[in-house]
Amino acid sequence: MNILLKAAKIVCPENKELHLKKRDILIKNGMIEKMAASIEAPANTKSINLKNLHVSVGWFDSGVSFGEPGFEERETIANGLRVAASSGFTDILLYPSTHPVPDTSSDVVFLKERGLGKPTNIHPMGALTKNSEGVDLAELFDMKNAGAVAFFDFKKQVSNPNLLKIALLYAQNFDGLVFSFPQDGSIKGTGVAHEGEVSTTLGLKGIPALAEELQVARDLFILEYTGGKLHIPTISTAGSVKLIANAKKKGLDVTCSVAIHNLFFSDGELKGFDTHFKVSPPLRSKADSKALIKGLKDGTIDLVTSDHVPIDIEHKRVEFDNAMDGTLGLESAFGSLNQLLGTKEAIALMTKGRSRFGIENPSFKEGAKANITLFNPDETYTFGQSNILSTSKNSMFLGTELKGKVYGTINKDQIIVHERD
């Protein structure tokens, strides 16, 4: 397929000659053939001329759930990857949140095969323990060889510290990356919201910051003892930021991420008992959100993630205590992050992180594979049902003013581009 992007402003800080320059970009057979101030469209070439078109290398998300296999009513892999492409993502890490959980090499192969031919690259994680039950390690080495990029018991703590110790020691033999969810279940108990003034006022059982920070501190102590590579996904408290900053000063090989909704919202949103705002870890205080943003800016927090978790209506339209945790995040990721931090920071964060998981970084130059996101960073709008492309509709961003719309992606010689309402 031949494509000509007209008058596209290139956002690529690492290439000073192209950064913030308007160029026509000719793509032939999935490769960037030419970039120039003006290019005449060759025969059999699709020209794309969109309002205020900006382009960057394709975006990356380190934490996405779909549903297949087991929860296809929430989301299939095929539609989920199309949603990701339409939302600007050319690479996503797939959480091991299915039924059964992917804890063998054949499970990982199945997920990769389901992603073949789709517009977004899928990089599966494998479960850290068998059935994600936290008892015995899963087939980590075999899953790594089959294509698993990391190991994670989705949204579950590693209760047994010796198990985490063994996992970190064992994974060093094949450069494996271990995830550890930052929440102590014993301290969380039956909590459903951040422990603070809001939860007390509403009569909701609280989840103290201690539940996260104690787990993070424990995991970092174990990492210091074992060595190895640890990733702590979706931290949510100011205390966690400080703990990880200190660990990095010691030279520990630890990275962490934060969910975009934990930057954008605080626990004050719970006053309407809207279950769309029930997530794990929970929305925290405004002070925590400010500390998380500061941690992003100073490099303590390595990655942002949509933490996209589709949930069917039957598990959301219930009492707050009984609702399942999770919100959609792919469709709103750019608009919310761009509004919060500005385009320069948003694009820098959304294009980084691949190397941590052994994924090749795309490049923006002539002769490179076209791995490109197309967007308009200046358009403001109210996020509504028409913006949700997922099968499930559980987005906490509904009714929120956002800035920046995504046109789509060009990747794997496929183009997913459209103008949204």
The three-state DSSP-derived secondary structure of the chain is CEEEEEEEEECCCCCCCCCCCEEEEEEECCEEEEEECCCCCCCCEEEECCCCCEEEECEEEEEECCCCCCCCCCCCHHHHHHHHHHCCEEEEEECCCCCCCCCCHHHHHHHHHHCCCCCCEEEECECCEHHHCCCCECCHHHHHHHCCCCECCCCCCCCCHHHHHHHHHHHHHHCCEEECCCCCHHHHCCCCEECCHHHHHHCCCEECHHHHHHHHHHHHHHHHHHCCEEEECCCCCHHHHHHHHHHHHCCCCEEEEEEHHHHHCCHHHHHHCCHHHCCCCCCCCHHHHHHHHHHHHCCCCCEEECCECCCCHHHCCCCHHHCCCCECCCCCHHHHHHHHHCHHHHHHHHCCCHHHHCCCCCCCCCCCECCEEEEEEEEEEECCHHHCCCCCCCCCCCCCEEEEEEEEEEECCEEEECCCC
Is residue 307 part of the annotated active site? The answer reads yes
Out of 61, 253, 307, 378, the active site residue is 307
Active site members: 307
